Amino acid sequence: MRIYLKLFLLAFTLSTALNALAQEQPKPKFELKPYGFVAYEVYMDTYKSVDSRDGESYSYPSYPKFDKISGNDANKRTMLEMAAFTARLGLKITGPDFFGAKTSGLLEMDAMGTKQDYVQLFSLRHAMFKLNWEKSELLLGQTWHPVIVTEMIPNTVSFGAGAPFHALNRSAQVRFTYNFSPIFRILGAASIHGSHRSTGPYDAQRYSGKPDVHVQLSVGNRKEFLAGFSAGYKWLTPRLYVDKDTIGTTETIGSYDLHAFIMIKPASTSVKLEAVYGQNLTYLSMIGGYGKKTGSENLTDDFSYTNLKTLSVWGDIQQDIDKWTIGIFAGYQKLMGADENYTPIKADKAAGIGDYFRDDNLSYIIRVSPRVVYKADALSIGLEYVLTKAVYGSAWDAKHNVTETMDPVSNNRILVRVGYSF
């Protein structure tokens, strides 16, 4: 009996000591800050266009369709839509220090879905956390691709911030940033593209076994001035087999992209300029892609690939006047042909594989969109006119450089947005 009493007393003493120790060490404290907005939009178009999410995610006018009897372009028509699914809900998180680093996190969602079939369903935008030391930062999770610099995002009223001229991509990534000084820093990142994938087979990047790698240098205080340059490279392995699982292939294609930007913001005026040039920029929601290198077939019918090159440039100017802001966005994007003789690879619907290209029959697209916005506390009212022209090719050389073009097709969009932020 005595031994049971001693064991009970020992267990009680240990329990009391552990409880006291736990009380002496305060639990980590977290701060949560919800944010977001609800928005109503109404927009009218004059030409059927390449778009998604009920026209909310807008790109450029479609290839013209001429009526066989009248000869008129059937795409010329007035269209009207209303939407509220750009509504956004986010949560900013700050937590306890970890190995001398300040910790923070971000979780953000909207109701845009990941494609047209899932519109009005919740989709993940950002889900990441950061460790910040005195001169460096480690980021892990899904957020903007390194080509998208947050200070450089255009302030358009319409969704997409100037896409496809301005890149649109959120990727899962690991990113490390080092600040050499308060104004000079270098960034390195490795990412997998998630829902913003290159055209062609869905798992092409995964099958390559390699991430998209990017390095970026920037200078500026990020408030009044910012300039920088980045370079990236990615790999795709579109096929594992040559002919219905009978012959294997390891054919992989690599592609590069180069990116330069500058932002000047004296007082109440901001000027932003950016250029992206590279191979297969479809993962950034731009035109282009890749295809078969003509004549590269071997004895087993395997073949090599070649990239289409794309140049995209844009500028955005904005002036703040009390509660009003006026601005204008302008963009130009050009398909520059392939590195080698190019043969397009079209969709295989039976295998669930889309085209390896995005509108490779385009020559160039251009956009001009002036805007005016009124803000009063949490409420904002914006009006934007978006003129987008597309010029399609009618003849090409062996490397898919456009040698002849069709007449331009244009869409006029008028958009009104009323937003309530919290």
Over 118-173, what HEC string results?
A: HCCCCEEEEEEEEEECCCEEEEEEEEECCCCCHHHCCCCCCCCCCCCCCCCCEEEE
pLDDT of 128 above 50: yes
pLDDT tens, 333-350?
999 999 999 999 998 887
Query: Among positive and negative, which fits the CA dihedral 30, 31, 34, 35?
Result: negative
Contacts of 17 (CB under 8 A, 6+ apart): none
pLDDT recorded at residue 187: 98
In the chain, pLDDT over 90 holds for what percent of residues?
A: 80
Banded pLDDT at 4 (limits 50, 70, 90): very low
**Range from 19-28, 73-82, 223-232, 352-361 carrying the lowest mean pLDDT:** 19-28
Ranges of each domain in the chain: 32-421
Most distant CA pair in the chain, distance: 107
Name the one residue in this structure whose structure tokens are 């003849």. Answer: 395
User: At 381, phi and psi to the nearest 5?
Assistant: -130, 125
pLDDT recorded at residue 14: 53
Cα(280)–Cα(356) distance, integer angstroms: 10
Q: pTM for the complete prediction?
A: 0.89
Residue type (1 letter), 56: E
CB distance 385 to 413 below 8 Å: yes
**Range from 14-18, 242-246, 250-254, 354-358 carrying the lowest mean pLDDT:** 14-18
Query: How many alpha carbons fall within 13 Å on the CB side of residue 333?
Result: 31
CB distance 258 to 313 below 8 Å: no
CB distance 84 to 36 below 8 Å: no
Banded pLDDT at 116 (limits 50, 70, 90): confident
pLDDT of 7 above 50: no
pLDDT recorded at residue 193: 93
pLDDT of 84 above 90: yes
Cα(59)–Cα(114) distance, integer angstroms: 16
pLDDT of 5 above 50: no
Q: Taking residues 63-67, report their average pLDDT.
A: 92
pLDDT recorded at residue 26: 62
Banded pLDDT at 1 (limits 50, 70, 90): very low
Structure tokens at 11: 């267990």
Banded pLDDT at 245 (limits 50, 70, 90): low
pLDDT recorded at residue 16: 60
Cα(311)–Cα(307) distance, integer angstroms: 13
Cα(327)–Cα(371) distance, integer angstroms: 5
What is the average pLDDT score of the chain? 92
Distances 258 to 202, 217, 310 between C-alpha atoms, Å:
24, 12, 11
pLDDT recorded at residue 107: 96
Cα(255)–Cα(40) distance, integer angstroms: 40
Give 295: exposed, middle or buried? Use CB within 10 Å, 0-12, 13-18, 19+.
exposed
Q: What length is written for the chain?
A: 422
Structure tokens at 296: 């590269």
Banded pLDDT at 275 (limits 50, 70, 90): very high
More confident residue, 71 or 263: 263
Structure tokens at 406: 């069709």
pLDDT of 229 above 60: yes
Neighbours of 199 (CB within 10 A): 24
Topology of the domain covering 32-421: Porin (2.40.160)
Q: Taking residues 303-313, report their average pLDDT.
A: 97
pLDDT recorded at residue 120: 82
Distances 240 to 85, 200, 307, 356 between C-alpha atoms, Å:
38, 13, 19, 16
Q: Taking residues 389-407, report their average pLDDT.
A: 97
Q: Taking residues 222-246, report their average pLDDT.
A: 92
In the chain, pLDDT over 70 holds for what percent of residues?
A: 93
Nearest to 302 by CA among 254, 347, 260, 250: 250
Q: Taking residues 86-95, report their average pLDDT.
A: 94
Cα(215)–Cα(186) distance, integer angstroms: 7
